[in-house]
Amino acid sequence: MVEQVGALGTAPYSARQATYDLRRLKRKGLIVKLAHTHRYQLTSLGRRVAVLFTKTYGRVLAPGLSALDPRLPEDVIARSPLTMAWRTFERMLDGYIQAQLIAA
């Protein structure tokens, strides 16, 4: 299992880290250890949390972050209130930072 999880990320993933992660998930009630095995199973709460995170990513995070992509064409930006608000925020923040650097 450690090799499979380690292949998902760029940082090394040790057996110690896996033990720590499993222990925390177990304490939170998201998984339970199956007796006399080295296997774990999702609890009802764990399944609901996983569905919540999956739906949140698919419906909120991914579309929201893609709307903030600086490479978006201008016609797409003009149709998205989120993108326009983000661009305005970036301009205001850049102006504030520049003003603070000049004042210093």
pLDDT tens per residue across span 27-80 = 999 999 999 999 999 999 999 999 999 999 999 999 888 888 888 888 888 888
Say whether pLDDT at 7 is over 90: no
Largest CA distance in the chain: 67
Specify whether the CB–CB gap between 80 and 71 falls below 8 A. Answer: no
Select from 82, 89, 79 the least CA-distant residue to 68: 82
Q: Would you place residue 104 in the very low, low, confident or very high pLDDT band (cuts 50, 70, 90)?
A: low
Give the C-alpha separation, 32 to 76, whole Å. Answer: 47
Give the C-alpha separation, 47 to 53, whole Å. Answer: 10
Instruction: Decide: pTM greater than 0.75.
Output: no
- All structural domains of the chain with their residue ranges: 69-104
